[in-house]
Amino acid sequence: MDISSGEDSDISESEMEEYEDKYYEKLKNGNYKIKVSNEKYTCPFCPKKKKQDFLYKDLLQHASGVGKSNSDKRSAREKANHLALFKYLENDLRGTVGSSSSSAAAAEVEDPLSGCDHDEKIVWPWTGVVVNIPTQKLEDGRSVGGSGSKLRDELIRRGFNPLRVHPLWNYRGHSGTAVVEFRKDWPGLHNALSFEKAYEADHHGKKDWFANNGVKEGLYAWVARADDYKSSTIIGEHLRKIGDLKTVSELMEEEARKQDRLVTNLTNIIETKNKHIQEMEQRCSETSKSLEALMEEKDNLSQAYNEEIKKIQVSARDHFQRIFSDHEKLKSQLESHKKDLELRGVELEKREALNESERKKLSEELEENAVQNSALHLAALEQKRADENVMKLAEDQKRQKEELHNRIIQLEKKLDQKQALELEIEQLRGSLNVIRHMGDEDDMEVLEKVDASLKELREKEAELEDLEALNQTLIVRERKSNDELQDARKELINGLKEISTRSQIGVKRMGELDSKPFLEAMKRRYNEELAEERASEVCSLWEEYLKDPDWHPFKRIKLEGGEEYQEVIDDEDEKLRDLKDQMGIEAYKSVTSAIKEINEYNPSGRYIISELWNYGEGRKATLKEGVTFLLKLWDNAKRKRGMT
């Protein structure tokens, strides 16, 4: 369908939105033919364009570029119908794109290097050049132009995803040019090439800019290459400041080398971790065997203790049984003897009536029997008291043995904490074993020995507690003294900071980077003014590296004749090696000296700290040296005041 029939007159900018909606409805109704095949599409509004067949993604980019173009060559009607085409492709045709087209587009996204000459030198990091930016002249003759953020937002909306847009200024103001910075990876290269192709498709590429075809209108853009980098224009100067010329092949080889190095490092780390795991497993195995042996020994001790307790209980039960049986025998004998005496008393009473003489004899016998009965009664009472004493003694013995048993349990609980008392506990156990073989008369003596041992044990525990309390007191005093010394050292450092004297004792900033080697290295490449600027930039970069806790360019080496390790600078570190190659050995020494000082004096914070320093001997100064130096300064000041 011819779109010019009846619509030859152009429209105003205010009518663009209305015409955009109108063309969008026509596209939805099928008035224009867009799809040529499953993968090919055509632009119905550019019938005279040489390239008629587009992929879906290319047609979408073409519609967006023309519709959002700032060029005055594009009419408002042309922008409106291309915006309608872009809207139709986004909203209505995206879901109908064939699988082959999708796979082709995906392949194109996944392979950003397709269609790119791998041996062509391109400015890296990937950078685009934008020229013919509209500017205005002020009264003072200087030129001003739009901000870089506005152009960056527009490029982001068009899908090029730049990081930033940097307008270029000189002494006359805005130069009308800008550089577009993309990401350093392969997707960034893909975005840069897409950015270039979009402007080439709109006839605003590099060839169009340098073609002699009249006045140029709108923005022209392309990807910066070797000729741009080497040019003497403001663009070339800026490109040489921010980047280098590299080919895609060189970057791919460098990336492959880094990947190989990373794989090697990761392999070494994995091997180290595996060795560490094997050592830990071996230690766990040894610990498990040791624990099993200890548990077995504990079970044996527990079993032996239980058997010993059973033997003691059986012996005590047999002893009590013998005491009760002996008591019953004595009681039965006394009863029998008492009955015999009563029978004899009855017989004597019967004989009392026979004769007087016999009565006297009987009276004497009765008295004798009475005395014997009294003695027997007393003996019975004494036996009863003896029985009670025996029962009480048996109960006391049982209670004392239970107390000994409880003491042994308490001592065994303290065995894990105070192994030094193991001998006393074993002696108590031996005392209990002896009780099993001793009689009643010897039990009290054994118990007294056990009580003496326990008393000695308590005295040793008290001594141990006193020693621990004394040790804790000394630790507290030592910490307090250390805190006071550190406070005094800080005050001394703060005082010496205010005294600007070059002497043997002073304050040194540990971890501070010396910028002189960097300045000397830059002077060999650039003039003095540019060298200072570049040296400042490089120093700032390395100061940030020094603050980075993830950068640790050290390796551990084993000292000769021992098992100790020492940290030294890793000469194979990539950053340090590049620094030595690019800046020289003096800059390398400056950075390694600073990182050594940070690693020694502030490894956790990674920032510069002030330290009292003996410059004469090149070491950390003692507090005594600092105080002595300060007193000398004070004496000198007093003498000077006395002379004046």
DSSP assignment of 61-92 equals HHHHHHHT---TTS-HHHHHHHHHHHHHIIII
Which CATH architecture fits 121-242? 2-Layer Sandwich (3.30)
pLDDT at 129: 94
Give the contacts of 456 (CB within 8 A, at least 6 positions apart). 424
Do the beta carbons of residue 51 and residue 60 sit within 8 Å? no
pLDDT per residue as tens digits for the range 256-268: 888 888 888 998 9
Integer angstrom CA distances of residue 327 from 317, 331, 397: 15, 6, 18
Closest residue by Cα to residue 448 from 434, 461, 462: 434
At 637, list the tokens. Answer: 């000041």
Closest residue by Cα to residue 401 from 307, 472, 312: 312
Q: What is the pTM of this model?
A: 0.32
Closest residue by Cα to residue 27 from 69, 97, 90: 90
pLDDT at 162: 92
Amino acid at 392: K
pLDDT at 172: 86
pLDDT at 433: 58
The DSSP call for residue 225 is: B
Beta strands in 53-161 (DSSP E): 121-124, 127-131, 135-137, 143-145
Do the beta carbons of residue 219 and residue 70 sit within 8 Å? yes
Identify the H or E element spanning 248. Answer: helix 248-351
What value, to the nearest 5°, has the Cα angle with vertex 333 and ends 328 and 336?
125
pLDDT at 136: 87
At 121, list the tokens. Answer: 């030198």
Count Cα atoms within 13 angstroms, Cβ side, for 387: 14
pLDDT at 2: 45
Question: How many other C-beta atoms are found inside a 10 Å radius of the C-beta of residue 59?
Answer: 21
What value, to the nearest 5°, has the Cα angle with vertex 247 and ends 241 and 251?
90
- Residues (pLDDT < 70) of the chain are 1-10, 12-14, 48-52, 71-73, 94-116, 351-356, 358-359, 362, 373, 375-450, 453-454, 457, 497-502, 561-562, 642-644
pLDDT at 178: 93
pLDDT per residue as tens digits for the range 531-584: 888 888 888 889 888 888 888 888 888 777 667 777 888 888 888 888 888 888
At 233, list the tokens. Answer: 């224009």
pLDDT at 270: 92
In whole angstroms, what is the distance from residue 313 CA to residue 319 CA?
10
Cross-strand partners of 130? 178, 221
In whole angstroms, what is the distance from residue 71 CA to residue 220 CA?
10
Do the beta carbons of residue 540 and residue 546 sit within 8 Å? no
Per domain, the residue ranges of the chain are: 14-93, 121-242, 490-642
Residue that has been written with the tokens 């290097």 in this structure? 113
